[in-house]
Every structure is written in structure tokens, then in C-alpha cells.
Structure 1
Amino acid sequence: MTKVIGTHNGSFHCDEALAVFMLRQTQAFKNSTLIRTRDQQKLDECDIVVDVGGVYDPEKNRYDHHQRGFFETFSPHHSIKLSSAGLIYKHFGKEIIGTRLNLNSTDQKLELLYQKVYEDFIEGLDAQDNGINRYPEECSAKYKDLTNLPRRVAGLNPWWNSKNPSFDGQFYKAVELTGSEFYGMIDYLGLAWLPARDIVMRAFEKRFEIDKSGKILVLDGFCPWKEHVFDLEKEQNIAKDENILYTVYPDEARGWRVQCVPATLDSYSSRKLLPEEWRGLRDSELSEKAKIEGCIFIHMTGFIGGNGTKDGALEMAKKALNS
């Protein structure tokens, strides 16, 4: 028998659109139909109900978050209350990611991705649906908003002055939009972000072989590395005075790069810039000044430089470290 998902009719939001999409990716509800109503009698007949009904009870497949006394969060480490998207993700997210990326339920990467998808994608939807300011009074953001998805979903609602508006038709568009974004995030994290983390992890584990300070990473391939450096330092409780200062990695076009680790993930300032007397110099002039063969350039601001060889770039990093 075909199962039925229930949610409310009328104006819709990002959270229930994504919740419906996610449910249809699960084994239990992949061929389900959808009913949009606020008629409680009809909702009671549904196999699962999201974002309406005033009940959160996983055993009964009821996932609303609007009722008084609801304080469910993703985990004790999170303070933002869940929306219907967060509720469905909390209970079905691992299955969806595992199926999408062909990961076994015992694979440690599945747990890592499950947490990461929530923090980078779902948590922001939960917060915005619950009316939580991203910047309360503190300077740092309370959650991530990488997609502006709730605003785009809201824009799919019929205009206030539309004649004969088709809420259901537009809601199905919202389901497809949120699902496409959700799977896009899972695919990126599983197939690009995670392999980059593996590269940075290998460099992190070998950093004391590179330099006794442990403050230089040499990556064996080009990849986005900044976020992973900060994550690994936090996970391994690295003291501030032992933080990574430079990364050395192959340039996609030519030679090798040495780059300063930023002061914070989104900062334009660096923990320690390359020497001032090198900045703005190129080629033989830079090589002569630095007394290192094969130098290519140092940016005027001192945050990045290049050398024709791995050994040359590493020597630049070591000299900068001790400057």
C-alpha cells in the first residue's frame, strides 16, 4: 500500500519542503504520495506528518515543532531548535547520506558527514524558520547560511495578489529546489570536501617530520585546506602557540606555493605573514634577497608566495617561520 505524507496547505516554507523531499529518499517513504491540509482528521490518516499537527513523536511518525514545550535540538552540542527539516534530518539523515554515497552505516565517514551536513546546511534552515538572528549581539555568526535557500523558497509562494493561486503546484517546485540543494551539499561534502580533509589530515600527521615546530603543513596535492586546518586544530586541542602558520602545496599551474594560514577562517589577516623584505619581489630578485633558489613571487601583502620546486617552497616557509 502506498504511504501518505501529510503537511499543511497554504503558504509554505523551506523546512517542510525539504522534509518532504528527504522523506521520499528513504526506503520507507520513497514511493509515498503527499497531502497538504490542516484537516486533523485527514492528517490522522497519514502515515507520517511534518510541520503540522502539534505533535513530535517519532514512534508515531509525527514531526511538528510549533507546539508549546518543544525544545528539541540536533544534539546537546547545538542550541538551535529544530524545524521540520531538522527533525526529519535528525531521524533519517544518516540513511539518506549512506544511500546517496554508498556508505555503510558503520563507516566513520558517515557520522562525520551527518554532522557536517547539519552544521553547513540544515542548521541555518532550522534557525531561520524559528526566527533566530544569525548575528545576535556577538560578532560571530550563530549559524551558517551558505545558500539563502529559505528566502528563495519563500519567493516561490504565489504573489499576494495572484488570481487563483496554485499553492500546491508551487510547493512541489519548492520540494524539488530544496532537494536539489540538499543533495548538492551532500555530494560536495562526500566527494570533494572529505577527500580534501584526507589530504590535509595526512599532512597534519606528518607535520613534525617536516619541521620540528610542527607549524608547517606540506600537502601532497592541491585542495581547499583552510577549513580543515582549523577543524583539525580544534579536534586535537592544539594550543594557540602551536597553531599551523604555513601550508606548502603544489600549484595547479606552475611550481609550488607557500601560503599563510589566516588568523580566522574568513579573515584577510594572517597568523604570520611572509617576511616584509620579500614582498612584491619576483624571480631572480626575490631569490637573491631570500637566498633561496627558484623563487617565483611574493604577493605585495605577504600572504602567499611561489617557488619552482617543493624544496624551495618549503625552505621559504622555514625561513619565514624563523624570521
Structure 2
Amino acid sequence: MSRVLIVGAGLTGSLCACLLRRELKNKVKIVVWDKARGAGGRMSTSRSPDDSSHSADLGAQYVSATAAYHKSHHSLYSELRSRGVLQLLDAPVEGLKDKEGTVNYVTPRGMSSIVRHFLTESGADLFFEHHVTALYRRGASWEVHRKLGGSEEFDAVVLTMPVPQILELQGELGDMLSVSQRQQLDSVVYSSRFALALFFGPDVVLDVSWAVRYVSQSESSCIRYIAVDSRKRNAAPGRGPSLVVHTSVPFGLQHLERDKQDVQPIILEELHKLLPGLPQPISIKSHKWRFSQVQSAVPGSPGQMTLHPQPPLVCGGDAFCHSNFDGCVESALRVFDVLKASL
């Protein structure tokens, strides 16, 4: 039985784990490590600081499938819909510019429910607060070190974290990269942005006609997206509404090195200009996405990069394809192809 470590409990890592289990069944032992305290990555669903049952999506907001991807990934979309993970987005959206034939889906239980579904299907051993710091080759296996101490050996390793974090890893990874691979990884560019979730009491009604609103640059240089998150994803009634705000990329870049709590009042001031009379929230949660969407992926969008064939060391994620649901799916499929051939 081969031991496979997948670093990163986001969409690419979770789907890759699921594909391994379904295809190779009991021939592999799958382990997933993530440095965070929960699954999802940029598809995480955040809880209110005052009420863990009150949640909002601070990262990815919904799934947009082009006609081509809706056809090529039909089995996955059908699976997620049949399990109640995905539903059609039928709430009003203001300012959305979709390509013809695009189908939009929401997640009633939050975006992280997609990742949790695949992780459950994978049967993987899942460990949080496991921050990988170094990799060393030990014969036919990889010795993987963690930030809090300790190491384990695996027959194959998949890295799905953001590219800058891959390049920071200590050990033998740097020596394995060819000049071409280093150049390709260095060319990856991420956008950065801040996000806020405002949680309101059960008696509050947000008096807006939309569930999602895209804000133009002429309206605000700070805020680019607002969603009544509970309305957008058809959240179960009984809890108060939640409002999600995403800043523009230039604003995120301008304030990137500032603490998120210092930036929060600036965003709130801009929000009240756009939504005067907004009720007082019970609580607010903020997040800084240093690595948000991928603006420039690895040239050619290969879906994966094999750093070492045997024992396998493979990189995957949206940086190797494109930055949306289907990009991560494509990457997971390409990583799985490599692992299947190697194992």
C-alpha cells in the first residue's frame, strides 16, 4: 500500500484525494495536511465570532460553469447537485457579466461543503495545523517536515498550496527545479484583496433588491463586490442575514502589508457610503487574502508540474490552470493522471 500525502485541503487537493480513492481503492493510504484550522482553502466558509451556527463565505462566492466545462465535467456537477451540495443560483445579481451559456451554482451549506464532500468520499486521514516546511528524499520515499516539529515519510507527495509557499519550502526541492520550471513558477501572479463578513441579528432585514452586487470602479475604488450571503446561497431560515464584502484588487495591493484590523474601518466607511442606513451588525469577521485569484498562471496551463517522477513529487492547483472551480478540477485530474501512472 502506497502512502500519499496531499498538502492543502482545498478543492484541488480534496478532489485529487477522492479520485485516488475511487480509482485505486485500498491500494493507497491517503493523508491530507493543511496549515489552517479547517478545510476549504480559498473555498472556506467562515463562522461568526459570536455564533458558530452563523456562517458566510469569505473566499469563493459561487461556481460559474461555462457551457464547455459544464459538459466536460458533467459527472461532477451531477454528483454535487444530487447530493444537495450545489443548487442553481436563482437570486438576483446586479452587474454580473457572464458568457453566454454559463451556469451559476451556489452552495446552501457554504462553499467549503464542496471540499468537505470530496474529503469525505476520499476517506483520507485529515490533519489540520500541519504546516509543511521541508522535503527530503529518502530512497524511494519523501521525508516531510512540519513547522511544529516532527516528520513522516510518504511514497508520493502532492503540493497544492500557492506557488510562493511552494518556493519557500526547505530541503531538496530547490535543487530539483530546472531553470525552466523555476521561471514558470516565478511567472505566476496572484491578486490580493480583503474580505469582510458582517453578521446581523435574526430580526434584521437588509433592504436591498439584490442578493449579489458588483460595484463599479466609478462607484468605489475600495469595494468591488457585495453579497447578502444568506440570500445568495439560500441559507436555512432562522438566523439573521450575513453580508460579505470584497475589496478591489488595487485596494488590496495598496494595503497588503497592513493588518486586516487596521484596514477594516476603511472598508466599513466605504460600505456605509454605498449602503447608507445599514444596520449595526452583531459581529464582523475580516480576512486578508494575500493569494486570492491567479492573474497569471503557469504558461500553457498544464494543470500540474511534476518536480520528481519517482518517488512522485507533483504540484497542482489553480496556478497551473486557471482560477475557478473548473480550473481546480482540471488540475486535480492532471495530478491524478500522474499519480495513477506512478503508483
**Bin of the TM-score, shorter chain as denominator length:** under 0.3
Q: Structure 1 or 2: larger strand share?
A: 2
Give me the TM-score of the superposition, normalised by structure 1.
Answer: 0.23
Structure with the bigger RCO (C-alpha within 8 Å, sep 6+) is 2
Structure number, greater radius of gyration: 1
Give me the TM-score of the superposition, normalised by structure 2.
Answer: 0.22
